[in-house]
């Protein structure tokens, strides 16, 4: 049985939102719980409406570029972001992934890809539209392709680092982590600092967001 998934649809065109809702309604165990027509409404929903996935149009009014993705991920670390946009520039794709997007679809793509993307994200995988994959595999953009693949792949962690990441993402303090692992609070704090440096994380919200992205329990 598929894991149930709740979705927020965000696009400034009502006809696009209706089309997305219609497509999503055909998928098993998927429900659209809210919709938004601008960035301000998306931020409000991120604060008030628990959802597993946000389908986001980057061209909506009030969406302040790629940084908006990072803002959403900080507000709602458990909610994944699937970008749906007309922008097919590879550098935008890379930036979106680095900002925390779990998937990237283009508005001129095959509607069936929406279902493929949802199923991939449902199982904690990432998804790039077929047209984007072809674009980044072009020899002239091979460097970008490598960077995108790297962004999609989690950084290898040791068993101890995974323990520290999981416990930190659950909100435990250094003292509580130390008690769980049988180490000193100073050692626990040092492990967490080293982990954050390794993953380029700078806050508890970013730790939680990274843990969610690789499938660890949070909260």
Instruction: Name the CA dihedral angle for 190, 73, 76, 188, rounded to a multiple of 10 degrees.
Output: -10
What's the confidence (pLDDT) of residue 24?
Answer: 93
Tokens encoding 168: 């930190």
What's the confidence (pLDDT) of residue 154?
Answer: 57
Question: Does residue 145 carry a pLDDT above 90?
Answer: no
Sheet of 30-36: strand order equals 30-36, 5-10, 53-56, 80-85, 103-106, 127-128
pLDDT band at 218 (very low <50, low <70, confident <90, very high): low
User: What is the average pLDDT across 125-148?
Assistant: 58
What's the confidence (pLDDT) of residue 82?
Answer: 95
pTM of the prediction?
Answer: 0.63
Per-residue CA distances from 70 to 26, 76, 101 (Å): 30, 10, 8
The secondary element (H helix, E strand) that includes residue 106 is strand 103-106
What's the confidence (pLDDT) of residue 130?
Answer: 78
What span, in angstroms and rounded, lies between the C-alpha atoms of 14 and 88? 22
pLDDT band at 93 (very low <50, low <70, confident <90, very high): confident
């Amino acid at each position: 049985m598929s894991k149930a998934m709740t979705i927020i649809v965000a696009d400034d065109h009502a006809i696009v939102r209706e089309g997305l809702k219609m497509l999503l309604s055909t998928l098993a165990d998927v429900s659209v719980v809210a919709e938004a027509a601008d960035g301000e409404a998306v931020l409000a929903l991120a604060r008030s409406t628990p959802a597993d996935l946000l389908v986001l149009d980057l061209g909506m009014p009030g969406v302040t570029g790629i940084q908006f993705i990072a803002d959403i991920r900080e507000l709602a670390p458990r909610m994944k972001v699937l970008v749906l946009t007309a922008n097919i520039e590879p550098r935008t794709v890379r930036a979106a992934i680095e900002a925390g997007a779990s998937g990237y679809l283009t508005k001129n793509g095959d509607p069936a890809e929406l279902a493929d993307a949802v199923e991939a994200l449902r199982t904690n995988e990432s998804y790039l539209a077929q047209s984007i994959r072809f674009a980044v595999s072009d020899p002239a953009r091979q460097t970008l392709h490598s960077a995108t693949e790297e962004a999609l792949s989690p950084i290898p962690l040791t068993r101890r680092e995974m323990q520290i990441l999981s416990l930190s993402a659950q909100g435990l303090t250094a003292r509580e982590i130390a008690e769980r692992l049988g180490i000193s609070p100073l050692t626990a704090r040092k492990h967490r600092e080293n982990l954050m440096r390794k993953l380029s994380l700078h806050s508890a919200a970013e730790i939680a967001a990274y843990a969610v992205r690789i499938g660890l329990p949070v909260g």
